[in-house]
Amino acid sequence: MTRAELERVRDWALQKLATGQEPPWAWYQYMKLRETLDAILAGMDAATPQTENSPQEAPRSGTRLRLVEATSSPDTAQRHQAGEPVRLPT
């Protein structure tokens, strides 16, 4: 749904709540709908892309990550001897 459609549904729910003629179970559902739509619309505001007036991320300086060569081989790892009991932490 678009923002305009969500706002239109929220306005409809607010009108239903304002009349005061809804049964308690319906009033509760309209209230949940309004709260949910408010949360969705707030999330949409938070997720909007940056504009020219928004603060930009500061440029990073310093060293960057680099790949390094492994110093050990999986073939050189110590293996557990079959006859030795496994020591567990206490």
pLDDT tens digits for 11-56?
A: 999 999 999 899 999 999 999 999 999 999 999 888 876 665 666 6
pLDDT tens digits for 61-86?
A: 677 777 777 776 666 666 667 777 77
The pTM (predicted TM-score) of the whole model is 0.51
CA pair distance 65, 63, nearest whole angstrom: 7
Q: What DSSP line would sit under 67-90, residue for residue? A: ----SS-GGGS----TTSPPPPP-
pLDDT tens digits for 49-64?
A: 666 566 666 666 677 7
